[in-house]
Each structure stands twice: as C-alpha cells, then as structure tokens.
C-alpha cells in the first residue's frame, strides 16, 4: 500500500516536473519569436516607408496631373490654351517699347493701366505648355483685370472713340468664339493690342 502511494506521488511529481519543463521552452520560444519580429520590423521599417512614399503622389506631381486635366476636360482645351498664349506672344511682339508707352500717354491713370496690362501680357507670353492649368488661369485672369482698367480709363479720355471701336471688335470676337463652342479665346488680348497700336500709336 505504501509503495503504491509512493509510486503515485512519484508519478505526480514527475508529471508536474515534466509539465513545468515543457512550459519553460514554450515561454522562451514565444519571447524569442517576439524579439525576432521586433528586430525585423525595425530593420525593414525604412524600406517599407520609402516604398510607401514612392507609391504616394509627390507634391510636384500636381503640375503634371493638373496639366493632364486640360486634355481630359475637353478634346481641344489644350490647343485652346496654346492659341491664347500664342496670341499673347504675337500681340506683344507688335507693341511699342514700354519706354515709348510711358512718354506717349499723357494721362497718368491711363498710362499706369496700360503699363500694368503690358506687364501682365508679357507674363502670359512666357507661359509654356508644361505649366499647370491653375497657373494659366491665374495669369490670364490677371491680364483681364488689368485690361478692364485700361478700358475704363480709355473711355474717359481722348481715346474714347477709338476705344469704343476696339471694344466693338472685341465683342464680335467674343461672339465668334462662343459660336465656335470654344471654352477659351484671346479676344481681350487682341483688343488690347488694337487699342495700343491703333488708338495710342496709330
């Protein structure tokens, strides 16, 4: 009887000991696995981050995507932009030197308005195809604001009659542009060129 109890106790002791022996390696294995995972994560984190950044759109990609929208928003919108700024270059080439404008126009308000519009036109003439649409729109809008001041000042002074004729031609250009279903046209640019060359230096 006593020997049986001893064998049972010995069996329980051995079983408990074996279970503890099994638990220890499992715990060690878990710790080692976590440690290896952490080390691998730390080692490859820069690579993962650089891959994510490479796939993400860069800030200077905006200009490319914005320019692509020119062609996607309409079949001829890119060509219309080129036509507008080609016209700006052509008109600028025919205008007198800014120094002559300054000495010829006696009315200070009109002179300043023409000079501002001249500089805005010069900026438009430097536009390239690769520039994004918002840049193009901003440049064209700035010229049109400056040209509006030229119109306002011209209607008050000695160039009133000639300015009215140029305005009529500009209105006809706008009408033809709308009839051709164009989203853009260079009518105000050509009107400004006509006013300077015909009314002031004609």
In order of 3, 19, 100, 179, 195, the CA distances from 9 in angstroms are 10, 15, 117, 106, 116
CA dihedral 160, 114, 95, 124 (to 10 degrees): -130
pTM beyond 0.75: the answer is: no
* CA distance linking residue 195 with residue 202, whole number of Å: 9
Which residues of the chain register pLDDT less than 70?
1-76
Q: How much is the pLDDT for 153?
A: 96
Q: For the chain, which residues make up each domain, given as ranges? A: 1-56, 75-200
* CA distance linking residue 144 with residue 147, whole number of Å: 5
* Biggest CA pair distance of the chain: 135
Relative orientation angle of helices 187-194 and 108-125, to the nearest 10 degrees: 130
Number of CB atoms found within 10 A of residue 99's CB: 8
Q: How much is the pLDDT for 26?
A: 44
Q: Which of 129, 121, 116, 132 is nearest to 92 (CA)?
A: 121
């Amino acid at each position: 009887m006593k020997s049986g109890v001893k064998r049972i106790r010995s069996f329980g002791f051995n079983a408990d000991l074996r279970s503890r022996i099994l638990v220890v390696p499992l715990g060690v294995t878990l710790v080692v696995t976590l440690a290896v995972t952490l080390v691998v994560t730390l080692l490859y984190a820069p690579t993962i981050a650089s891959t994510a950044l490479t796939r993400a759109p860069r800030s200077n990609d905006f200009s490319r995507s914005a320019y692509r929208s020119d062609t996607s928003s309409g079949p001829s919108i890119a060509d219309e932009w080129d036509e507008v700024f080609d016209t700006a270059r052509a008109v600028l080439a025919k205008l007198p030197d800014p120094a002559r404008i300054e000495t010829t126009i006696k009315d200070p308000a009109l002179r300043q308005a023409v000079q501002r519009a001249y500089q805005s036109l010069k900026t438009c003439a430097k536009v390239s195809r690769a520039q994004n649409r918002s840049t193009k729109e901003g440049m064209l809008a700035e010229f049109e604001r400056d040209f509006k001041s030229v119109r306002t000042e011209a209607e008050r002074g000695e160039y009133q009659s000639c300015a009215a004729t140029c305005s009529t031609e500009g209105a006809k250009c706008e009408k033809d542009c709308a009839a051709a279903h164009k989203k853009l046209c260079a009518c105000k640019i050509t009107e400004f060129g006509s006013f300077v060359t015909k009314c002031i230096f004609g």
